[in-house]
Amino acid sequence: MKKTILVTWLALGVWPAFGQQNPEKAETTAEIAVTAPPSLLERLKVEPVTTMEIGETLHLPGRITMNEHRVARVGPSVTGRVTNVAAFIGQNVRQGERLASINSTELSMAQAAYLKARTQMNLHRLAVERARRLLEADVISRAELTERESELAEVEVELRAGKDQLAVMGMSEAAIRRLSNSGQIDSVIPVTATLSGTVIERKISIGQIVEPADDLFTIADLSEVWVVAEAPEQQAYLVETGGEAEVQIPALPGQKITGKVIYVADTVNPSTRTVTVRMELKNPERKIKPEMLATMVIHRPRVSSLNIPAKAVVRTGDRDYVFVRASEDQFVLTPVSLGPDLGGLRRVVAGLTEGQRIVVDGAFHLNNERIRKELE
């Protein structure tokens, strides 16, 4: 008797409750036929698989950030004490504009060394000229003239090194020229803007001792900003560098903002399983603020393909299935390979052909009927 029952179960493709495998937990790997009772058959909607044009649209959550290529962090070029602060948060500044002043003994020592080297150079030049006259008068030897010229060359190298050091410390060519002409040491050096934009951060106060490693001001050109979003790895193929995209910003309702995708990451973030996407936006009126929430909308061109309604899909295990009509009241659970859900439609990659009639409404109830019969 037990052998007869087991054979019947195997013929129906059903496992008993005390068996080794549960049909709900096992992955369906073959086509399974299901007969719909009349009461359920009336609730099913069956339509053929058709080819249609569909445009893929991707909505990516993101935020507004500063354009990192238009951000400058300004610090002192020498160690010293702050004597004046001329720029504050929110102030618009131009490139080269003075932001603060620093009094530096380090700078004054470098200027003194430069002036000393310049004086030594003038003295050695006079010595070389005198040696040349004496050589012409046959008073000294050629070797002595060569020695004087060698000493002059050493001092000239020291002078060029001193000038380069002053430039590194922030002195302009005009300021070094004034120092050479006047011979007066000025230990006050300005901190100047390296970029035209808005001061968005300030870490400086009068009397503060600062060093070259310190960031005293952050300046950003906000006339152009970035939108940074994260695309799921399964949909990253829809995003291409150089493509046009639209941005929806809740803080600016009703405004249509478009820009260009300038960057798609080459790697997937292992923590979020997403790919970073970045686009560039013009912001001449400064209405778009960094850290605003935004949604990046990417539209793909419409293409012709087989598509089925998303509600026709039954998920069992880790695969997608649809019910294909085999006869008036019989349907076959068929595995399919599908693209992502795009506005309630899913593109057929494999498993179906055009014209096949499938259940497009009521597949959930038909699948429940299949499970109920298997459990019985």
Indicate which CATH number applies to the domain containing 204: 2.40.50.100
In this structure, are 293 and 238 located in the same domain? yes
| Residue 96, in any domain of the structure | yes
Q: Which of 253, 273, 299 is the last residue of a domain?
A: 299
Distance CA 347, CA 312 (A): 12
In this structure, are 227 and 273 located in the same domain? yes
In this structure, are 174 and 43 located in the same domain? no
Angle between helices 142-168 and 105-136 (to 10 degrees): 160
Which range is least confidently modeled, 3-7, 88-92, 296-300, 333-337?
3-7
| Residue 14, in any domain of the structure | no
Q: Give the residue-averaged pLDDT of 50-68.
A: 85
Q: Give the residue-averaged pLDDT of 285-306.
A: 86
In this structure, are 275 and 310 located in the same domain? no
In this structure, are 113 and 92 located in the same domain? no
Instruction: Record the pTM.
Output: 0.62
In this structure, are 90 and 116 located in the same domain? no
Q: What is the pLDDT of residue 188?
A: 92
| Residue 187, in any domain of the structure | no
In this structure, are 141 and 276 located in the same domain? no
In this structure, are 367 and 236 located in the same domain? no
Burial annotation 61-79 (CB, 10 A radius, 16+ → b, else e): ebebbbbeebbbebbbbbb
Residues 244-292: tens digit of each pLDDT: 899 999 999 888 898 899 999 999 999 999 999 999 999 998 999 999 9
| Residue 134, in any domain of the structure | yes
**Structure confidence at residue 156 as a pLDDT band (50, 70, 90):** very high
Q: Give the residue-averaged pLDDT of 94-111.
A: 93
More confident residue, 207 or 235: 207
CATH assignment of the domain containing 144: 1.10.287
| Residue 20, in any domain of the structure | no
Here the tokens at position 61 are 């959550």
Q: With 80 as the cut, is the pLDDT of residue 20 above it?
A: no
In this structure, are 247 and 214 located in the same domain? no
Task: Give me the amino acid identity at 342.
Answer: L
Q: What is the pLDDT of residue 13?
A: 41
Q: With 70 as the cut, is the pLDDT of residue 86 above it?
A: yes
Q: Which of 284, 299, 314 is the last residue of a domain?
A: 299
Q: With 90 as the cut, is the pLDDT of residue 339 above it?
A: no
In this structure, are 279 and 229 located in the same domain? yes
| Residue 270, in any domain of the structure | yes
In this structure, are 273 and 294 located in the same domain? yes
Q: Give the residue-averaged pLDDT of 145-161.
A: 92
Distance CA 260, CA 10 (A): 59
Q: What is the pLDDT of residue 341?
A: 74
Q: Which residue range forms the structural domain that includes residue 256?
A: 59-67+222-299
Residue 376: exposure state from Cβ atoms within 10 A (0-12, 13-18, ≥19)? exposed
CATH assignment of the domain containing 243: 2.40.30.170
Distance CA 259, CA 247 (A): 8
Distance CA 32, CA 29 (A): 9
Q: What percent of the chain has pLDDT over 90?
A: 52
Here the tokens at position 18 are 């005390």
* Whether the Cβ atoms of residue 151 and residue 127 lie closer than 8 Å to each other: yes
**Structure confidence at residue 52 as a pLDDT band (50, 70, 90):** confident
Distance CA 53, CA 168 (A): 63
Q: Which of 251, 266, 299 is the last residue of a domain?
A: 299
Which range is least confidently modeled, 30-34, 60-64, 330-334?
30-34
Q: What is the pLDDT of residue 345?
A: 82
Closest CA to 161 of 125, 118, 211: 118
Closest CA to 376 of 3, 9, 34: 9
More confident residue, 13 or 46: 46
Q: What is the pLDDT of residue 18?
A: 38
Residue 319: exposure state from Cβ atoms within 10 A (0-12, 13-18, ≥19)? middle
| Residue 279, in any domain of the structure | yes
Tally of domains in the chain:
4
In this structure, are 241 and 361 located in the same domain? no
Q: What is the pLDDT of residue 33?
A: 86
Going by the DSSP 8-state scheme, the letter that residue 173 receives in this structure is: H
Closest CA to 170 of 190, 195, 199: 190
Q: What is the pLDDT of residue 30?
A: 55
CATH assignment of the domain containing 321: 2.40.420.20
DSSP string for residues in 266-298: SS-BTTTTEEEEEEEEE-TT--S-TT-EEEEEE
Query: In angstroms, how far is the first alpha carbon of the chain from the final one?
Result: 18
Q: With 80 as the cut, is the pLDDT of residue 147 above it?
A: yes
| Residue 22, in any domain of the structure | no
